[in-house]
């Protein structure tokens, strides 16, 4: 039997973007104060009346839009590849009769070029021309253009990409002045029910503004980045809103619109924004000249608290995160954390799951200490954890496998705490980790995944990329490959 349209069971995450349109609110005067409820009579519903004064029909978000809209830009990104001059007879036939990409030219506009394109939004956060957007808007792109609200257009350079937060910073080349930077708001002060507006470029129709409320905070089960702690809003957000601004009623940035829950790809009133506190951390990193974001290393694995665990620890409801394991000589171990400790707060901020903990800890920077409020047994205490980057304990010796083998198309590195942090390895295992796999490569077809650790090949232990490089130089008829994936060792056999 067909499912009712209201039963939205498996929801898909779609990427977004939004821009200016004025919303108005009408105000209904209260009923006369003389109309009072009596003890034996329920209060009357407020009487509907015609507005008696001009001010009663002039409430509007227009002043907020005028302040914020000039800071919101359109981001046009493309990846242009120049193809070689040689063509097959079939290529030439298709080009002459149908055109490249159906138009007689590559989408980049020049003969012999092939282009992929992406459209999103961004926010100017510095008068020098720094613009924040989503990483997925410019992912795999090598050319970026920025279009301002006043229709001026500029080329831009990519300054920093941070896939783990799905944020990226680009810089306008040779700005001619008149750039309006949007001030940061306090995303930590937001409450459910606060009015917010989303500004961006949905569907490429032009800058558009939508209005709604904060419908939830600290959403962690969205799946669009490693640091999940999203602001949820019912302000209409649609494809193209990605990287656009979520602003408060002062016109200050409180979030970057990032994802929606949708079956159709359109807005259903559930949109998600990255809080301004995380955005500020990424922008400050870019201002400091870095091209990547480094975060503090804890050296411990934490897990969720189930209702059964909460009951066994004497808690009235699940909260905090449980320390499941510690790495030797890590900040967690040096701070005195122990397996089984329950971390309840980070610098006084409550954490209810591993995603919220990871977000709070990631914001702390790389200097000084942060304090964890913990429950150990029946006693509550505080521990101070040093804020240091994960160490590179041995050279990565990055290897891109180009010889024919089950690893062809994979990028491999020697493991270390720094590598484990970057590619989200749960284990401090020694060996060779898969840092990336090319799409449609032999490695991808073999099932290799980012984060896999190569344990052995044909029974020979693999401890470094040099070991793997030496083995893959040979042409073998059979490959028996053992990998560690999330603590479980899997062995597969492949033909030569």
Could you give the residue numbers annotated as active site? 136, 166, 242
H-state helical runs in 83-162: 89-98, 135-138
- Residue 437 main-chain phi, psi, to 5 deg: -135, 125
Distance between the two ends of the chain, CA-based, in angstroms?
48
Question: Are 265 and 14 contacting, i.e. CB atoms less than 8 angstroms apart?
Answer: yes
Q: Closest by alpha carbon to 155, among 128, 129, 173?
A: 173
Residue 412, strand partner residues: 399, 434
- Which residues have CB under 8 Å from 131's CB, separation 6+? 73, 75, 122, 123, 124, 125, 146, 156, 169, 170, 171, 172
SS3 445: helix
Q: How many residues does the chain have?
A: 496
Question: Are 472 and 448 contacting, i.e. CB atoms less than 8 angstroms apart?
Answer: no
Give the whole-angstrom CA distance, residue 161 versus residue 91. 36
- Write out the two tokens for 273: 């924004």
Chain position carrying tokens 């783990």: 164
Q: Closest by alpha carbon to 117, among 82, 80, 86?
A: 80
- Write out the two tokens for 289: 């000249």
Give the whole-angstrom CA distance, residue 97 versus residue 106. 14
Give the whole-angstrom CA distance, residue 17 versus residue 120. 6
């Amino acid at each position: 039997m067909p499912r009712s349209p209201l039963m939205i069971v498996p929801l898909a995450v779609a990427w977004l973007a939004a821009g200016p349109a004025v919303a108005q609110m009408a105000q209904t005067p209260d009923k006369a104060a003389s109309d009072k409820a009596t003890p034996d009579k329920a209060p009357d519903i407020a009487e509907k009346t015609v507005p008696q004064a001009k001010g009663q029909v002039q409430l509007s978000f227009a002043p907020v839009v005028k302040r914020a809209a000039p800071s919101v830009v359109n981001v046009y990104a493309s990846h242009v590849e120049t193809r070689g001059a040689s063509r097959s007879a079939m290529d030439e036939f298709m080009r002459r009769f149908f055109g490249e990409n159906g138009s007689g030219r590559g989408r980049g506009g020049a003969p012999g070029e092939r282009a992929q394109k992406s459209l999103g939004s961004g926010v100017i956060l510095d008068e020098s021309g720094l613009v924040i957007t989503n990483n997925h808007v410019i992912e795999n792109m090598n050319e970026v253009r920025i279009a301002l609200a006043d229709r001026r257009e500029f080329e831009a350079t990519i300054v920093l990409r941070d896939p783990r937060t799905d944020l990226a910073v680009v810089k306008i080349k040779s700005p001619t002045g008149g750039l309006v930077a949007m001030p940061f708001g306090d995303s930590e002060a937001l409450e459910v029910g606060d009015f917010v507006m989303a500004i961006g470029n949905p569907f490429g129709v032009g800058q558009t503004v939508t209005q709604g409320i904060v419908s939830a905070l600290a959403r962690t089960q969205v799946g669009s980045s490693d640091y999940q702690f999203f602001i949820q809003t019912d302000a209409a957000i649609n494809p193209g809103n990605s990287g656009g601004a979520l602003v408060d009623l002062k016109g200050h940035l409180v979030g970057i619109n990032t994802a929606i829950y949708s079956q159709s790809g359109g807005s259903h009133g559930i949109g998600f924004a990255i809080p301004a506190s995380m955005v500020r951390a990424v922008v400050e990193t870019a201002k400091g000249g870095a091209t990547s974001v480094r975060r503090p290393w804890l050296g411990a694995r934490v897990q969720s608290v189930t209702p059964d665990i909460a009951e066994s620890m004497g808690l009235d409801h699940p909260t905090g995160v449980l320390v499941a394991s510690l790495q030797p000589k890590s900040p967690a171990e040096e701070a005195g954390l122990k397996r089984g400790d329950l971390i309840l707060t980070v610098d006084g901020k409550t954490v209810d799951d591993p995603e919220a903990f990871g977000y709070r800890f990631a914001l702390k920077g790389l200097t000084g200490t942060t304090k964890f409020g913990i429950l150990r047994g029946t006693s509550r205490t505080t521990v101070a954890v040093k804020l240091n980057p994960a160490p590179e304990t041995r050279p990565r010796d990055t290897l891109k496998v180009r010889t024919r083998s089950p690893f062809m198309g994979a990028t491999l590195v020697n493991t270390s705490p720094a590598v484990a942090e970057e590619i989200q390895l749960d284990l401090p295992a020694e060996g060779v980790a898969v840092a990336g796999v090319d799409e449609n490569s032999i490695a991808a077809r073999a099932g290799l995944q980012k984060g896999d650790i190569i344990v052995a090949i044909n029974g020979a232990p693999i401890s470094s990329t040099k070991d793997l490089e030496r083995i893959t130089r040979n042409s073998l008829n059979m490959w028996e490959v053992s990998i560690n994936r999330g603590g479980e060792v899997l062995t597969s056999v492949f033909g030569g």
